[in-house]
Amino acid sequence: MAKNNVQHSRIIGVKATTVGMLQGTFFSLIGLVTAISYTISAGAQFTQETESLLRGLTFGLAHGFWAIIFVPIIYFAIGWVLGALYGVILNAVLETSGGLVVKVANDEEK
């Protein structure tokens, strides 16, 4: 049988760069979705303007290819900076308030 031991732990600080990495990764996923939707939109727009499916997809994918590469990188950089700033602010608040108490369950099998 498994026995649950619930313990309380106090978080008194976080590493600001890990918060930045988490937020940067999330922002890059948003940037990737944005770039993919831009690529589809650009392909449809160029297809309509050139009245040729092959030319429209070629021009649209050429623009979209660069967007798929650079937009997530830019979004990541912005997200990382904002996340690191948030991590610094969070550390100041945690130190001032005495920390954040969380419950941690340890499962031990006997």
CB 41 within 8 A of CB 61: no
pLDDT values of the chain reduced to their tens digit, one per residue, 110 residues? 455 688 888 888 999 999 999 999 999 999 999 988 888 877 777 777 777 677 767 776 777 778 888 999 999 999 999 999 999 999 999 999 988 898 888 776 55
- Structure confidence at residue 17 (pLDDT): 93
pLDDT number for residue 7: 87
Cα distances from 32 to residues 71, 76, 101, in angstroms, run: 7, 10, 36
Contact 56, 39 (CB under 8 A): no
Write down the pLDDT at residue 1: 43
User: Which burial class, exposed, middle or buried, applies to 80 when counting CB atoms under 10 A from its CB (0-12, 13-18, 19+)?
Assistant: buried
Please tell me whether residue 1 adopts helix, strand or coil conformation: coil
Question: What pLDDT score was predicted for residue 15?
Answer: 93
Q: Where are the domains of the chain?
A: 2-109
- pLDDT number for residue 89: 95
What local confidence, expressed as pLDDT, does residue 58 receive? Answer: 72
Burial 6-22 (b: 16+ CB within 10 A, else e): eeeeeeeebebeebbbb
